[in-house]
Amino acid sequence: YDCSARFIAKQGAPSETHGFTLFTTDLDDDGNDDLFVGDPESNEVAVYMGTGDGLPNEASFFIAPPLTDDNVGEFGYSVDVANLGGGFGRALAVGAPGTRVDRKNEVGSVYLYRINDMGMPDLESPIEIHDLDPRVGSRHGLWAGGIRNNARDRDELVVMGATEGRVHLMVDDLDPDRKSVV
């Protein structure tokens, strides 16, 4: 196997968790895989949009939690894309298990970003999903993503908080006005 290695450096000061999560998918359906690099310590996900020549040296854009929410912790711990069907369609799911909810530490949340027709996430209006019964240290969002449900022709959103051993499933069409998972 003969190849030339290339290092993609993080812009700015590196954190110890840069690259903790790596996820690839063809987000914009151009035939080229795109790379998502999670950095939970910095609360961001760097996105490198692939081209016919490979990946760029610098991130194409960054995804960060909403500016209005200063309780978010470990954003980018998990990243996945799910086709939730119904009126929602494809969504980018970003886990943030260190998020404070209802004044309780490390309850965790998952942020869903709708993917538009151009294959780009709507970064302006994510939907935050968290447990209806928030418990300190449950850390929901350690993993979040889609599991295929062929009977309904879509993915079910699965959110896992491993410290409690509970797994949550989002069933039915995701209602954008609903902010929690049962």
Task: Name residues of the chain where pLDDT drops below 50.
Answer: 1-3, 5, 171-182
CB contact at 8 A, 81 and 89: no
Residue 174 has what pLDDT?
47
Residue 178 neighbours by CB under 8 Å, 6+ apart: none
In the numeric block, which tokens belong to residue 8?
């993609």
Matching residue, tokens 């190849």: 3
Q: What is the pTM of this model?
A: 0.82
Residue 18 has what pLDDT?
73
In the numeric block, which tokens belong to residue 109?
């949340």
- Characterize the bridge pairing of strands 180-181 and 127-131: parallel
Residue 143 has what pLDDT?
86
Residue 147 has what pLDDT?
81
**134-173 pLDDT, tens digit each:** 888 888 888 888 888 788 777 777 777 766 666 655 544 4
Residue 179 has what pLDDT?
44
